[in-house]
Amino acid sequence: MVTRYRDFNTKYACSNPTSHTSISGVLINSSILDYIPPWFLNTPGDVIVDVDPQKATAIVHWEEPIATDNSGQIADLTKSHSSGQRFSIGGTTVTYTATDPSDNTVTLTFLVIVIGKMLLQIVYRRISDSCSSLCL
């Protein structure tokens, strides 16, 4: 999506080699239309971890993606979660959004999945206990 132009002002000094006079302060205004959105480097895939022992959560780490843009600047970078944060059992969508100075935006998402082995063991025990008393 294109939302605005980037304006540049450039000042040039010009001279006439035959008369040895110079003209200074020539100002050229130009606008460049930036329609290229930023992009991410080091994009993580889905992250799957086991739950911490005796807890229903896990501290999850991933390599932080790096936002870059053809302008060389990122005006805004937001993220829904941070690497090193604690996540509950289940799946959580992590979202990063980068915006360049021309308001072009890109969004990156991936899943953090915390597998709760303890919960599965409890469910399995209840099922097997029920089955052993009912299935005989």
pLDDT of residue 65: 97
pLDDT of residue 57: 94
Q: What is the CATH classification number for the domain harbouring 111?
A: 2.60.40.10
If we measure between CA atoms, which residue out of 92, 67, 90 comes closest to residue 78? 67
Q: Which two tokens stand for residue 50?
A: 């086991």
C-alpha distances out from residue 112 to 14, 55, 65, 99, Å: 60, 17, 15, 24
pLDDT of residue 32: 77
**Residue 26: inside a domain, yes or no?**
no
**Residue 63: inside a domain, yes or no?**
yes
**Residue 46: inside a domain, yes or no?**
yes
Alpha helices in the chain (DSSP H): 117-134
User: In terms of residue numbers, what domain contains 78?
Assistant: 36-123
Q: What is the pLDDT of residues 87-106, one digit of tens each?
A: 999 999 999 999 999 999 99
pLDDT of residue 136: 44
As for how many domains the chain has, the answer is 1
Helix (H, G, I), strand (E, B), or coil: what is residue 61?
coil
pLDDT of residue 3: 45
**Residue 136: inside a domain, yes or no?**
no
Chain centroid to CA 110: 9
pLDDT of residue 61: 97
**Residue 129: inside a domain, yes or no?**
no
Pick out the chain residues at pLDDT < 70: 1-30, 117-136
